[in-house]
Amino acid sequence: MNRGKQVRSDGINCFVSKPERLQKILSAHGVASRREAEKMILEGRVRINGVPATLGQSAELGLDEISVDDLPLAAADEPVYIMLNKPRGYVTTSSDEQGRKTVMSLVQDVGIRVFPIGRLDMNSGGLLLLTNDGEFANIVAHPSYNKFKTYEVKVRGDAQRAALLMRKPIEIDNHTVQAKKVEFSKITEAGGVLKITVAEGRNRQIRKMCAACGVSVQTLKRISIGTLKLGSLKPGLWRHLTEEEVQSLR
């Protein structure tokens, strides 16, 4: 519980609970990332003292009754950090209203509820982190922490020219983006393979950058986040991060 110190009139220190944003509470308890928690609130799945919560609302642990899908908010579990090699064909979300396969079906044997950090679109694969630690998720996902992400991208078209163009600022969806690093890896029959490193993770950013540079994506795989590399982990499988890996991402 987050507490703030107060001093009573008789000079004795005491502590009282401090209200926090609801999405922060849900994230800290491993329910979902803050972004997913906001979506759950908007969908009316979260209640405070029996009343549907509103986005931006705060609550006080120990005083307010918080429920998700009519189930009381459980105590926070021990922190868990795992790496999944996401295959193509799965959406990166805790649930999907369209009934598509989600990455959660691949980590059911973790034993503790976790949520994905950031997203990989349905047709992309590779390194995806999942956790129940909201603060850790924020550190990994937010661009201000400079956890650069590298993607191996097989493209159709003039890959060498695209690599040169991608090193310059590109306007996408009224926002200027620029790759931190672009390597032309090899030539293929239809084009080539690029390794693209970015700081941000905007919606379908790599695909849109490629399109803006005259090439189309055939396959896209994330191979690293910060110092963490996907390595030889096979598609569809997961493993726990080591303590050293967790600390390197912090």
CATH number of residue 243's parent domain: 3.30.70.580
Listing DSSP states for 113-137 in one string gives: --EESS---TT-EEEEEEES-HHHH
Half-sphere exposure of 216 toward its Cβ, with a 13 Å CA cutoff? Answer: 3
Is residue 91 within 8 Å of 241, Cβ to Cβ?
Answer: no
Q: Is residue 5 part of a domain?
A: no
Tens of pLDDT along 107-164?
988 888 888 888 888 999 999 999 988 888 888 887 777 789 999 999 999 999 999 9
Same domain for 119 and 175, yes or no, is: no
Same domain, 97 and 162: no
* 4 within some domain: no
Stated pTM of the model: 0.73
Q: By residue range, what is the domain housing residue 20?
A: 11-72
Helix (H) or strand (E) holding 219: strand 216-225
**The one catalytic residue among 77, 96, 121, 158:** 121
> For position 66, which CATH number holds?
3.10.290.10
| Chain Cα centroid distance, residue 238 | 16
> What confidence tens digit (pLDDT) does each residue in 188-207 have?
888 899 999 998 777 788 99
CA distance linking residue 90 with residue 105, whole number of Å: 9
Catalytic residue check, 64: no
Query: Do residue 128 and residue 242 come from a single domain?
Result: yes
Residue 235's nearest CA partner among 85, 93, 69, 105 is 85
